[in-house]
Structure 1
């Protein structure tokens, strides 16, 4: 009986002690959650302690969304802008409004440079295309000129004499009978004149 009474008296004390312990534990747990990570690296370290792979992946994605900067070995932070493919030095784990303004201005200048580079590349490509077309035309002209020079020029046929069998005066083949006969005929006529007496003229009547 006395043991039962003693246990009943001790029960409230045990309950109070247990409550006190739970209170301290919950308070410590609350203090741990109250201290949020200050940058990406600290947040990533906490994410690594996740129990499952899915929780770890979700926690790292949350860290990446909260903190844009990354720690530099010598102190400070750096921000990588994938649109410009370059990094910027920033003071904290996230860019300040002034730092973000400079990043945006740099991106505007980057777009202008890209536009000018594209226009210059297009102009150069257009010039090269025109040069290639001009060279192709010149080559075609050379080939056509060479083909024309290789074609033989037709020789003009000699004109045919209109009179068949007629021979132009003074034109004969040397040594042929037709060419020698006129001279022989003239020589015979001269010989005949030498041996033929000249007929006398009749005397005039008084």
Structure 2
């Protein structure tokens, strides 16, 4: 007859054999998700929309990389609008360093592009202004017809005559009465008349 101790040992060993697969199965279900896609699949099984959204947001925060169809992972840097190939579901420190270095290069290229675009716009503006000045210089100045030119000349001459008369009247009005400068023109005119009278008398006598 087996002893009581032997029976207990056998029973314990059998229980371990039965429970071992169950424990391993439970441990497989409790493992952490391997990558974003695995985590998102688990989030889809959440019982409520709120829990599903919360778990999916947690997946986004845990995993930066996404599976590639041909294998491996890809990381999208929205600051550069560019994808980078990475080895695992998250960039390693070395991979992250290379991504940051590429971002510095990207910023330098953007700065140069901005400067070049501003320079090109300035050149185009200067060319447009020069072209506008050239076109303005080529526009012929309208000329007056001969009739209008004669009318303009007549108006100018009439204006000069009126201006001369106005100056004469102004001098006559402003001239002090009895002064030599005012009396001399009248005296000179009288002398001229006397000269004409004497010069014409002999001629009349000869004719008679």
Question: TM-score, length-normalised on structure 1?
Answer: 0.57
- Of 122, 132, 141, which residue of structure 2 is paired with 1:147? 141
Distance 2:117 2:105 in 1: 18
User: 1:28-177 to 2 correspondence within 5 Å?
Assistant: 31=27, 34-143=30-139, 146-148=140-142, 150-152=143-145, 154=149
- Alpha-carbon separation, structure 2, partners of 1:92 and 1:62: 18
More helix by share: 2
Query: Tell me, which stretches of 5 or more residues in structure 2 are unaligned?
Result: 1-18, 155-208
Match of 2:141, SS state, is: helix
Q: Higher Cα Rg: structure 1 or 2?
A: 1
Deviation at 1:137, TM superposition (A): 1.3
Change (3 A) 1:53 1:32: farther
SS of equivalent to 1:141: helix
SS in 1 for 2:109: helix
For the residue of structure 1 that corresponds to 2:85, the secondary structure is: strand
Distance 2:84 2:52 in 1: 28
* Shift in Å, 1:31: 3.2
The RMSD of aligned alpha carbons is 2.7
* TM-score in terms of structure 2 length: 0.57
Give the Å deviation of 1:136. Answer: 1.1
